[in-house]
């Protein structure tokens, strides 16, 4: 189930941003529309609407999802297969903190956010909570903003 949380939460492009190429109105519009996409994803996860959740991942040959330093999905189809196997009654509630939405160029934005996720099911088991940082690259398609790639990782102590 822990992998599910990482999958629902996203990745950063690592590009330097030159907002001089974008008008301030474009920057604000991109931030607002990507925030709306993230809010929708959050609602769909909480409501266990897996079909709606998986629509936000881009069907693109360059799609990648990474967790803790490894590639865990190379296509949106892999993400869909993962969520199709989700047990009935599974709930995934994620909160985002200190979210930065960085417009790169029209139609591309990088998102960096801290996240806290609680996963549970319909049993008496209280579930578990985990968190870390999430980065995602969003691309705008005809049907809205989609996650092209993402990475979720949990904090670990640094080695000397």
Q: Element (H or E) spanning 96, and its range?
A: strand 91-105
Whole-prediction pTM value? 0.82
Task: For 105-122, write each residue's pLDDT tens digit.
Answer: 999 999 999 999 998 887
Longest dimension (CA), the chain: 54
**CB contact burial 81-102 (16+ within 10 A = b; e otherwise):** ebbeeeeeebebbbebeeeebb
Task: For 10-57, write each residue's pLDDT tens digit.
Answer: 333 334 445 558 999 999 999 999 999 999 999 999 999 999 999 999
Give the 3-state secondary structure of residue 155: coil
Pairwise CA distance, residues 76 & 80, whole Å: 6
Give the 3-state secondary structure of residue 135: strand
Pairwise CA distance, residues 109 & 147, whole Å: 10
């Amino acid at each position: 189930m822990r992998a599910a949380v990482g999958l629902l939460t996203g990745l950063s492009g690592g590009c330097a941003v030159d907002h001089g190429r974008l008008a301030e109105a474009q920057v604000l519009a991109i931030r607002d529309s990507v925030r709306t996409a993230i809010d929708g994803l959050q609602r769909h996860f909480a409501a266990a609407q897996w079909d709606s959740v998986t629509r936000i991942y881009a069907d693109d040959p360059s799609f990648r999802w990474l967790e803790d330093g490894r590639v865990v999905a190379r296509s949106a189809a892999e993400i869909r297969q993962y969520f199709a196997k989700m047990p009935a009654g599974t709930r995934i509630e994620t909160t985002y903190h200190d979210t930065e939405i960085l417009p790169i160029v029209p139609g591309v934005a990088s998102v960096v956010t801290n996240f806290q996720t609680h996963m549970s099911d319909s049993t008496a088991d209280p579930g578990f909570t985990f968190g870390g940082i999430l980065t995602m690259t969003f691309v705008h398609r005809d049907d809205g903003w989609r996650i092209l790639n993402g990475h979720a990782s949990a904090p670990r102590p640094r080695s000397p």
